[in-house]
Structure 1
């Protein structure tokens, strides 16, 4: 008798789960969003604020590796562009020679520099540009 009652309760629970699943699937995504609490609708404003804040982050980057001198191989020299959304940032370049390595930093404003850029530095900036 106890087994029969338990089976009946399980079948009713299964039936309720199936009905609930069908209702969830039949609701459109827009209806599901509209049914969310009002606090969730404020997320759009929060995301917009985060996008504005992240515009100044150095999030566009690219590295170009190359051989600066004919007698040194292995692409040990490199130029790295680190730029924000407006194209402001820095290009770092390391020139690797047989006996020494030199590192240079050049300011970038609006995707260009007041200093002379090497072709590899210009390439790094171009690759970093969205």
Structure 2
């Protein structure tokens, strides 16, 4: 223990100078750290304020509200779409027409058959027969692509053509 005390007494001044230099270096490093922390705090506060003076938290809450509104709107649009899609399936979507000569003594193709069908192949076939002395127009209902009335060859043709359309 005496050796340590004698060593400290012998080198007291150089050790004091070394400790003073070490304290000055540490003080300098502390000042640099304070400056850097201050700079980072300013950047952090600026980032947290975001644009238009709103914090990131406020922006996230606002974006979540907008997202919820968008999801609600999407569900409403989907419901409207399903309703419209259901109604469109019952509208005329497929049709076919054929003109023909019903009687040999009549010139030109003035008779016709038209098939008008929805997506389920429900609808009507309208036929107009033109003769020299009279014309007749009649309709035959179609359910699932089948008529409970007898169909002429022309009516069968337009029904088949209409059912094959998509």
Which TM-score band (shorter chain)? 0.5 to 0.7
Alignment match, 1:66: 100
The alignment status of 1:102 with 2:136, answered yes or no, reads yes
Whose strand fraction is larger, Structure 1's or Structure 2's? 1
Task: After superposition, give the CA deviation of every residue in 1:81-110 in whole Å (9 maximum; x if it has no partner).
Answer: 111111111111000011211112111111
Alignment match, 1:55: 89
RCO higher in structure (CA 8 A, sep ≥6): 1
Deviation at 1:40, TM superposition (A): 5.4
Q: Trace 1:20-59 onto structure 2 (pairs within 5 A).
A: 37-38=70-71, 41-42=74-75, 43-59=77-93
TM-score, length basis structure 1: 0.64
Distance in 1 (CA, whole Å) between partners of 2:161 and 2:87 is 23
List alignment gaps of at least 5 residues for structure 1. 1-33
SS in 2 for 1:95: strand
Whose helix fraction is larger, Structure 1's or Structure 2's? 2
SS in 1 for 2:160: helix
RMSD: 2.0
Distance in 1 (CA, whole Å) between partners of 2:107 and 2:118 is 32
TM-score, length basis structure 2: 0.51
Deviation at 1:55, TM superposition (A): 1.2
Task: After superposition, give the CA deviation of every residue in 1:26-67 in whole Å (9 maximum; x if it has no partner).
Answer: xxxxxxxx9xx4355333443232111111112322211111
List alignment gaps of at least 5 residues for structure 2. 1-66
Structure 1 segments, 4+ long, off by >6 Å, are: none
Distance in 2 (CA, whole Å) between partners of 1:74 and 1:44 is 51
